[in-house]
């Protein structure tokens, strides 16, 4: 049986110190091979069945988040799915969101204009749920600084007051232990921690489909897609597939393989690896006199005031992000202790 380290070494060989998975995950070799094969086949007039890749990717994502694949819609954008959920709310519905959460997650609720959107600090989100709240919206891990939402408390508060929950797992799926069955809606783009090409995203809906209307349903949303190509769809898919966007097929050809790798490695092993590196970086920061944003048990570490050094770090071959003036480092399965130490060395001058 291949070890974690051997599997990773076979799939990744970054030429720099890449600590920016929260922006874009590296593609594993198997995904690159699948992408090239699909492009070459299409160029030669012998395209492969990439719709089979969509279904395989959907099934892999469903297993990772512990739900049946009939509850998973496949598309290309979490913002689209946020908009779909926002459109389903009645006029005047109250939505509670976290301050400074990612724009694609929360903005669709604001642009409705006829919803009552309340924004509160992340650590007060559960306490802000009250009678009459229709929906609680939050990212499982915050893009800006890696803070992790208290999802069990939010879930309990929502259940107490009859509210639904919508969790964006874009910065969490792939390393954070998540059970999507605990929430009403869960979305995620897959080009970060799930290592897929851009253009792969998923939405988990309840068994009752959550009262959503398939506003952008095209032919792929039919129960029998190839019989739904002309005129109105006679029968929408009985599953979450009715909310599919027309898929970016080449992206899914690669994404299928990326998701298979995440499953092979196992989220528990990935989480342990990522958090060990993040903790090493936090300890090193403190030895240099820097205090990161408090985000225990997160693979994302954000350091106030150091975002200005992102350009300097990039020139030194160390890729991180500048978010809201903070230096943001993200540690994932292809990173090593040497990567952490290299970042610390450059910061120390």
Inside any domain, residue 32: no
**Residue 252 within any structural domain of the chain:** yes
Query: Residue 88 falls within a domain, yes or no?
Result: yes
How far is the C-alpha of 9 from the C-alpha of 59, rounded, in Å? 26
Is 104 a member of any domain? Answer: yes
| DSSP, residue by residue, 114-140 | SSEEEEE-GGGHHHH--TTEEEEEEES
Q: What integer is the mean pLDDT of 137-152?
A: 98
Q: Residue 10: is its pLDDT beyond 90?
A: yes
- Residue whose C-alpha is closest to residue 237's, from 252, 245, 225, 227: 225
Same domain, yes or no, for 275 and 247? Answer: no
Give percent above pLDDT 90 in the chain: 97
In the predicted model, is pLDDT for residue 207 greater than 70?
yes
Helix (H, G, I), strand (E, B) or coil at 106: helix
Whether residue 142 sits in one domain with residue 238: yes
Is the pLDDT confidence value at 179 over 90? Answer: yes
Give the pLDDT confidence score for residue 290 in this predicted structure: 97
pLDDT digits (tens, 9 = 90+) for 42-58: 999 998 889 999 999 99
pLDDT of 38: 96
Tokens in use for 11?
């799939």
Of 134, 131, 122, the C-alpha closest to 185 is 134
Residues 277, 343 share a domain: yes
Is 204's pLDDT higher than 80? yes
Among 229, 264, 299, the domain-final residue is 264
Residues 87 and 175 in one domain: yes
pLDDT in tens, 183-201: 999 999 999 999 999 999 9
Question: Of 264, 284, 314, at which residue does a domain stop?
Answer: 264
Residue 33 domain flag: no
Are 75 and 244 contacting, i.e. CB atoms less than 8 angstroms apart?
yes
| b (16+ CB within 10 A) / e for 180-203 | bebbbbbbbbbbbbbbbbebbbbb
What's the CATH code of the domain at 272?
3.90.1150.10
Mean pLDDT, range 239-247, rounded to an integer:
97
Q: Check if the beta carbon of residue 114 is closer than 8 Å to that of residue 237.
A: no
Q: Which tens digit of pLDDT belongs to each residue from 262-280?
A: 999 999 999 999 999 999 9
Q: Is the pLDDT assigned to residue 289 strictly greater than 80?
A: yes
Q: Point out the domain boundary residue: 264, 280, 308.
A: 264
Closest Cα to residue 115, out of 134, 131, 141, 129? Answer: 134
Q: Is the pLDDT of residue 324 over 90?
A: no
Domain count, the chain: 2
In a domain, 113, yes or no: yes
Residues 310, 196 within the same domain: no
**307, 335: one domain:** yes
Q: How far apart are CA 303 and CA 212, in angstroms?
A: 39
Mean pLDDT of the chain: 97
Give the per-residue pLDDT at 47.
83
**Residues 152 and 225 reside in one and the same domain:** yes
293 and 228, same structural domain?
A: no
Does 314 fall in a domain? Answer: yes
Give this prediction's pTM: 0.96
Q: What is the pLDDT of residue 217?
A: 94
User: For residue 259, is it within any domain?
Assistant: yes
Which residues form the domain of 311?
4-27+266-348
Q: What is the mean pLDDT of residues 320-331?
A: 96
Is pLDDT of 1 > 70? no
Say if residue 279 is in the same domain as residue 250.
no
316 with 273, same domain: the answer is yes
Cβ neighbourhood burial of 288 (10 Å; 0-12, 13-18, 19+): exposed
Q: Counting Cβ atoms within 10 Å, is residue 234 exposed (0-12), middle (13-18) or buried (19+)? A: exposed
Decide: 187 and 168 in contact? Cβ < 8 Å: yes
The 10s digit of each residue's pLDDT in 312-322 is: 999 999 999 99
DSSP code, position 73:
E
If asked whether residues 179 and 111 sit together in one domain, one would say yes
Q: What is the CATH number of the domain that holds 237?
A: 3.40.640.10
Same domain as 309, residue 246: no
**Taken in order 327, 328, 334, 338, is the CA torsion positive or negative?**
positive
* The pair of three-digit structure tokens given for residue 56, joined into one six-digit string: 């395989």
pLDDT in tens, 291-317: 999 999 999 999 999 999 999 999 999
């Amino acid at each position: 049986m291949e070890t974690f380290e051997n599997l990773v070494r076979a799939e990744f060989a970054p030429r720099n110190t890449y600590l920016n998975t929260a922006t874009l995950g590296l593609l594993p070799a198997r995904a690159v091979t699948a992408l090239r094969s699909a492009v070459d086949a299409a160029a030669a007039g012998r395209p492969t069945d990439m719709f089979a890749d969509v279904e395989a990717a959907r099934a892999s994502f469903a297993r990772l988040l512990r739900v049946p694949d009939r509850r998973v819609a496949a598309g290309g954008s979490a913002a689209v799915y946020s908009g779909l959920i926002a459109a389903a709310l009645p006029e005047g519905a109250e939505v509670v969101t976290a301050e400074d959460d990612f724009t694609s997650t929360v903005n669709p609720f604001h642009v409705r204009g006829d919803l009552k959107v309340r924004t509160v600090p992340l650590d007060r989100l559960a306490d802000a749920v009250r009678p009459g709240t229709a929906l609680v919206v939050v990212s499982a891990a915050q893009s800006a600084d890696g803070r992790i939402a208290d999802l069990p408390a939010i879930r309990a508060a929502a259940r107490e007051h009859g509210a639904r929950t919508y969790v964006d797992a874009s910065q969490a799926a792939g390393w954070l232990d998540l059970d999507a069955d605990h929430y009403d809606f869960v979305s995620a783009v897959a080009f970060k921690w799930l290592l897929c090409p851009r253009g792969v995203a998923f939405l988990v809906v309840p068994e009752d489909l959550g009262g959503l209307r398939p506003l952008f349903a095209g032919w792929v949303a039919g129960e029998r897609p190839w019989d739904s190509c002309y005129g109105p769809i006679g029968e929408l898919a009985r599953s979450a597939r009715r909310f599919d966007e027309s898929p970016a097929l080449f992206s899914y050809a690669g994404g299928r393989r990326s998701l298979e790798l995440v499953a092979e490695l196992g989220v528990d092993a990935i989480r342990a690896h990522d958090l060990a590196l993040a903790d090493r970086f936090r300890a090193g920061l403190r030895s240099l006199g820097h205090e990161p944003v408090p985000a225990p048990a997160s693979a994302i570490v954000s350091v106030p005031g150091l975002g200005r050094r992102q350009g300097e770090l990039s020139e030194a071959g160390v890729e991180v992000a500048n978010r809201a003036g903070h230096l943001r480092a993200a540690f994932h399965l292809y990173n090593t202790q040497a990567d952490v130490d290299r970042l610390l060395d450059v910061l120390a001058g």
